[in-house]
């Protein structure tokens, strides 16, 4: 009967440390790679059980409409009609040749740059402020983040009254300092400014919240070390905090860009794309052409173009911007 010592010895011999002998012996060449052992059917069943519903939902509600839209974009089709006429790339050609396209693209660009850029800057400022030990910090955080969870239509309707040049709060405040209210609703440029302000008010809380979480994970010892080395707060922020916020900024740049380009509710509630189509973005144009004008094919073409733009911009961000991010 082996003793405990014997067993121990046997075990150690089984996993013996390499000796000059066994190291020198070359491993026999593998004639073939053995096939992986097939997963038991239970694993597949489990996979289907958990992933199946999500995959099915994705196919039915995301990929199928996407491909359908691509197909419809090649048709001249009145929404509601049982038949359509194939026109190939005619809808795309029509969109690029439409004199109104330049205006729609310009409005989309201004709206996107202002809401994404403005949202990131203001959101970061709020996050930095909320990260400090201030009185009423909890209440301030709630106030800043709360609009984000509100319905866009409700926010739009609320601000509709705020900006009313006759009865609104902005008119009263401006009047108090002797300034007339801008024609928010009758001038296309002011109308665009107005919807940008409202969009920022609603969504800046989201950016602030994400930045705040990121700020709280910045290692304190780095900041303390910088302080000991004589770095002023601004320099420490620029050279330490901002680079460490890189992944968060990258994440936010993608999510806010996608959200901004797909913005619809506030514009619908406040201006309906007007006046003079001054707040008609590509997203709003898709709705107008598809559901108001009934040009389902043309609308699908604009949707496909917008999808392509989103895809390209996101890929560019992933390829070039991500390289500058330090994880």
Q: Is 173 one of the binding residues for other proteins (CB under 8 A)?
A: no
Give the torsion sign (CA, 133, 137, 138, 144): negative
Q: Is 78 helix (H, G, I), strand (E, B) or coil?
A: strand
Compute the distance between CA of residue 258 and CA of residue 270 in angstroms, rounded to an integer: 21
- The count of chain residues that interact with other proteins, using the rule CB under 8 A, is 52
- Return the residue matching tokens 């008119």: 171
| Residue numbers 103-162 binding other proteins by CB under 8 A | 160
Contacts of 270 (CB under 8 A, 6+ apart): 156, 157, 159, 160, 163, 194, 195, 198, 279
According to CB under 8 A, which one of 265, 294, 309, 310 is a site residue for other proteins?
294
According to CB under 8 A, which one of 48, 146, 157, 318 is a site residue for other proteins?
318
Nearest residue (CB) to other proteins, 223 versus 293: 293
Q: The tokens of 307 are what?
A: 């999808």
Region from 8-16, 115-123, 135-143, 290-298 binding other proteins, contact rule CB under 8 A? 290-298
Name the minimum Å distance from CB 317 to other proteins.
12
**What's the DSSP call for residue 82?**
S
Region from 33-41, 127-135, 163-171, 206-214 binding other proteins, contact rule CB under 8 A? 163-171
Q: The tokens of 23 are what?
A: 């190291």
Q: Is 276 one of the binding residues for other proteins (CB under 8 A)?
A: yes
* Cα 298–chain centre separation: 26
| Residue numbers 176-195 binding other proteins by CB under 8 A | 183-187
Contacts of 53 (CB under 8 A, 6+ apart): none
Q: Is 325 one of the binding residues for other proteins (CB under 8 A)?
A: yes
| Residue numbers 34-93 binding other proteins by CB under 8 A | 55, 59-60, 63-68, 71-72, 75-86
Nearest residue (CB) to other proteins, 260 versus 288: 288
Q: Are 75 and 297 in contact (CB under 8 A)?
A: yes
Nearest residue (CB) to other proteins, 208 versus 296: 296
Name the minimum Å distance from CB 58 to other proteins.
8
* Closest alpha carbon to 84 in 93, 74, 94: 74
Nearest residue (CB) to other proteins, 203 versus 299: 299
- Return the residue matching tokens 């309906």: 272
Binding mask 208-247 for other proteins (x = CB under 8 A): ----------------------------------------
Q: Is 295 one of the binding residues for other proteins (CB under 8 A)?
A: yes
Distance of CA 223 to CAs 26, 127, 137, 228, 240, Å? 53, 17, 22, 9, 8
What is the binding site for other proteins (CB under 8 A)? 55, 59-60, 63-68, 71-72, 75-86, 99, 160, 164-167, 183-187, 272, 274-277, 288-289, 291-295, 318, 322-323, 325-327
């Amino acid at each position: 009967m082996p003793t405990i010592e014997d067993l121990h010895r046997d075990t150690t011999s089984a996993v013996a440390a390499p000796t000059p002998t066994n190291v020198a012996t070359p491993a026999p060449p593998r004639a073939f790679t053995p096939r992986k052992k097939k997963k038991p059917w239970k694993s597949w069943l489990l996979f289907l059980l958990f992933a199946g519903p999500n995959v099915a939902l994705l196919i039915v509600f995301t990929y199928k409409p996407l491909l359908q839209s691509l197909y419809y974009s090649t048709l001249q089709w009145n929404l509601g009609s049982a038949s359509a006429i194939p026109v190939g790339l005619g809808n795309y050609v029509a969109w690029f040749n439409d004199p109104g396209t330049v205006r729609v693209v310009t409005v989309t660009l201004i709206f996107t740059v202002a809401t994404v850029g403005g949202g990131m800057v203001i959101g970061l400022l709020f996050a930095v402020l909320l990260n400090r030990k201030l009185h009423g910090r909890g209440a301030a955080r709630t106030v800043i983040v709360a609009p984000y969870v509100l319905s866009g239509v409700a926010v739009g309707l609320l601000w509709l009254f705020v900006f009313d040049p006759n009865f609104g709060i902005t008119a009263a405040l401006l009047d108090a300092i002797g300034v007339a209210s801008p024609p928010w609703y009758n001038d296309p440029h002011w109308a665009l400014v107005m919807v940008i302000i409202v969009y920022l008010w609603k969504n800046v809380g989201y950016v602030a919240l994400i930045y705040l979480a990121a700020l709280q994970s910045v290692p304190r010892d780095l900041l303390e070390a910088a302080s000991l080395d004589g770095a002023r707060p601004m320099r420490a922020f620029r050279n330490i905090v901002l680079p460490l916020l890189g992944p968060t900024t990258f994440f936010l740049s993608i999510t806010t860009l996608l959200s901004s380009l797909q913005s619809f509710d506030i514009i619908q509630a406040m201006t309906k794309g007007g006046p003079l189509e001054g707040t008609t973005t590509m997203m709003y144009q898709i709705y107008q052409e598809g559901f108001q004008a009934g040009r389902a094919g043309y609308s699908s073409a604009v949707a496909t173009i917008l999808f392509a733009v989103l895809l390209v911009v996101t890929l560019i961000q992933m390829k070039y911007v991500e390289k500058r991010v330090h994880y």
